[in-house]
Structure 1
Amino acid sequence: MSIPAVRRPDGGRDRRGSHRVAILVYDGVTLLDVAGPAEVFKEANRFGADYRIVLLSPTGADVTSSLGIRMAVDGAVSPGHAIDTLLVAGSDHYPRAHVPADLADAARIPAAVAGRVASICTGAFVLAAAGILDGKRATTHWRVAHELAVRCPTCRVEPDAIYVRDGTTYTSAGVTAGIDLALALVEEDHGPDLTRDVARVLVVYMQRAGGQSQFSAPLQGPPPRSPALRRITDLVTADPRGDHSLAELAKHLNVSTRHLTRLFHDELSTTPARYVEKIRFDLARALLDQGHTATQAATLAGFPSYESMRRVFAHKLSITPAAYQRRFSTARRAREPGGPHR
């Protein structure tokens, strides 16, 4: 199966006023990274925009996506291309392997002439290999954000962002966040009214609430090296509802509160209070996923009140427990009378 290329009868030149969007594709590219943003620009054309979308590959050869679907391209990357926006799609390959030089060059060449450059999901690794992210703020999928920071030590990686703009460089989070980014680019070009129409047609949020943390799995760090500190973390994990004030935790080990605070700082880079809060937060998320009401989750997770849990959700995810549950409770549970609420 192949996706036909749109061939330009004028040899690739766009009439004055049009906006040329080039999407860099290559073997193993994630299909939705290409199709999602392209669909946004195509829908924007229905409301008066004039985006011309071309697919470019490093050599001009057609490529095969990660799903095995063949994609026909419009041509090879060339410094002579007139490009207003360059989008670099992602792939599962390059968080695991280093980006080959020819692919990095294929991003670097058009980026030099493009008005703005953007990556979708792990396309940020291609931009990083091309040196385009040096000294800039950036994001990518939450699972590989740490790896991006290792590959690009001069970048300031923001793992919770849906997308990040730094000057004329844009990076976005996992897969569907490419749609969020494309909507932001359309709004930048044509304003909120046209963009709102596009979002409605596509049945997506014009700007989704919260960051990537709402989609990420709870972080499971290594256990503490110190047997004494491990006793405390095991105690908190086994009974999140218990009295885990600093004084009570220190009493369990018969140490000073200052010494316990130092243990947490040295081994876990946090404080006892934040550790307790994290355990309760992770449990509350799991309880909401299972269909408990927000009030039940707050009680079972050990929060003093629903309001205290709500504040933690707002701080960590930028959304309320109710909004989190609406996004992630099961479809069956959501349809039941008296399902998740609050």
Structure 2
Amino acid sequence: MSAPHRIGILVYDGVTLLDVAGPAEVFKEANRFGADYRIALLSPTGADVTSNLGFRVAVDGAVSAQPGLDTFMVAGSDLYPRTRVPGDLADAARTPAAAAGRVVSVCTGAFVLAAAGLLDGKRATTHWKVAHELALRCPTCHVEPDAIYVRDGTTYTSAGVTAGIDLALALVEEDHGPDLARDVARSLVVYMQRAGGQSQFSAPLQGPPPRSATLRTITDLVTANPRGDHSLGALAKHLNVSTRQLTRLFHDELSTTPARYVEGIRFDMARALLDQGHTATQAASLAGFPSYESMRRVFARKLSISPAAYQRRFSTTRRAG
């Protein structure tokens, strides 16, 4: 019989409860199918903490009292993309990570790992909204904003919201093989492995608006009518500026090109149409893609799946008739 696998989850005041409960539920469910995960909730001092929802979280002890963990996991929080990670929290992560078999972060837990120097020179990910901030704080880290999770050696980082569940399933599969992991996924009614990147769930429409009124005129135009003629020349003519000047505006304010911006808006529109039950051909036409094939190429690049595969996996409603 294999030895128990000891998992320590670092929690602290303001910790996102789902980042703790989601992965823990995966490991607990795996025990029903033959695994032997022993989970301990640990805080920097051993004192109980208060989650982001205001709930008290009872801990099993101080993180320093749990040496030699098989898996050391750091949950995320909304606090630390906005402010610096306190030194005592970074210190609380550094020592157990050095001795753990593998080190894992969920969502913005990556900021704690980065503050502890545990992501230096490594590939990593976090929630797409704060990936740029992580890259600024850890300049030697290669941040991959479109990944659901990233493994670099024995360090694992995951994206936002439910991506911690995806990563936990991947760890279960690594430990016990695909059959047991598949049983856990079925029991929890989640996908065994989500295809594509985190960009499945990020929307350009939700990004920061352009600073200049000039560029907002163009982005509003594209958003209001994705099917229109939004070639570089047409957009520049609409503003009575040169194509070079318009390209520079997009680069400086949105870090993209006009063509990529238009493509992103059309992609979001097409995805919403597929979710509503439109056929792929209808979605391509209504979203303004020149052809189904052009839409398929965008889906393949952004999600690594076809529009039809996306619709099978992710749409939950269908139009009547």
TM-score interval (norm. to shorter): 0.7 to 0.9
**Does the aligned pair in 2 maintain the 1:79–1:110 contact within 8 Å?**
no
Contact 2:281 2:292 survives alignment (8 Å):
yes
- Of residues 261, 273, 286, the one that matches 2:259 is 273
Structure 1 counterpart of 2:100? 114
Q: Report how many residues are paired.
A: 320
1:211 corresponding residue in structure 2 = 197
**SS of residue paired to 1:241:** coil
Give me the identity figure in percent: 84
CA distance in 1 between partners of 2:52 and 2:216 (Å): 43
Q: Given that residues 228 and 288 in structure 2 are in contact (C-alpha distance below 8 angstroms), is that contact kept between their aligned partners in structure 1?
A: yes
| Alignment match, 1:8 | none
| 1:312 and 2:302 correspond | no
- From 56, 81, 91, the equivalent of 2:67 is 81
- Closer/same/farther in 2, CA of residues 198 and 265 from structure 1, 3 Å limit: closer
Cα RMSD (Å) of the superposition?
3.0
**Match for 1:183 among 150, 169, 177?**
169
Tell me which moved more, 166-175 or 315-324.
Answer: 315-324
After superposition, give the CA deviation of every residue in 1:186-210 in whole Å (9 maximum; x if it has no partner): 1111111221122121111111122
> For each residue in 1:231-255, what CA deviation from the matched residue of structure 2 results, as whole angstroms up to 9, or x when unmatched?
7666655543334445655676788
Q: Structure 2 unaligned segments of length 5 or more: list them.
A: none
Q: Does 1:17 align with 2:3?
A: yes
Which among 72, 81, 85 is matched to residue 58 of structure 2? 72
73, 94, 109: which one pairs with 2:80? 94
Contact persistence 1:284–1:298 (CA under 8 A): yes
Deviation, 1:309, is: 1.6
Q: Which structure: larger Rg?
A: 1
Partners of 1:139 and 1:207 in 2: CA distance: 17
Distance 1:58-1:252 versus aligned 2 partners, 3 A rule: closer
Match of 2:182 in 1: 196
Change (3 A) 1:72 1:255: closer
Change (3 A) 1:259 1:129: closer
Partner of 1:6: none
User: Structure 1 residues 267, 296: closer, same or farther in 2, change over 3 A?
Assistant: same
**Equivalent residue, structure 2, for 1:141:** 127
Q: Which amino acid aligns with 2:227?
A: R
CA distance in 2 between counterparts of 1:28 and 1:263 reads 38
Structure 1 gap ranges (5+):
1-14
Matched with 1:36 is 22
> Residues 37 and 182 of structure 1 are in contact (CA less than 8 Å); yes or no, is this contact kept in structure 2?
yes
Does the 8 Å contact 2:209/2:216 carry over to 1? no
- Distance in 2 of aligned mates of 1:74 and 1:257: 61
Q: Tell me the TM-score normalised to structure 2 length.
A: 0.86
AA of the residue aligned to 2:121: G
**Residues 314 and 175 of structure 1, relative CA distance in 2, 3 Å threshold:** same
- Decide whether the 8 Å contact of 2:15 with 2:75 is kept in 1: yes
**Alpha-carbon distance change, 61 to 244 in structure 1, aligned in 2, over 3 angstroms:** closer
Deviation at 1:158, TM superposition (A): 0.8
2:110 partner SS: helix
Q: 2:204, 2:264 within 8 Å by CA — same for their partners in 1?
A: no
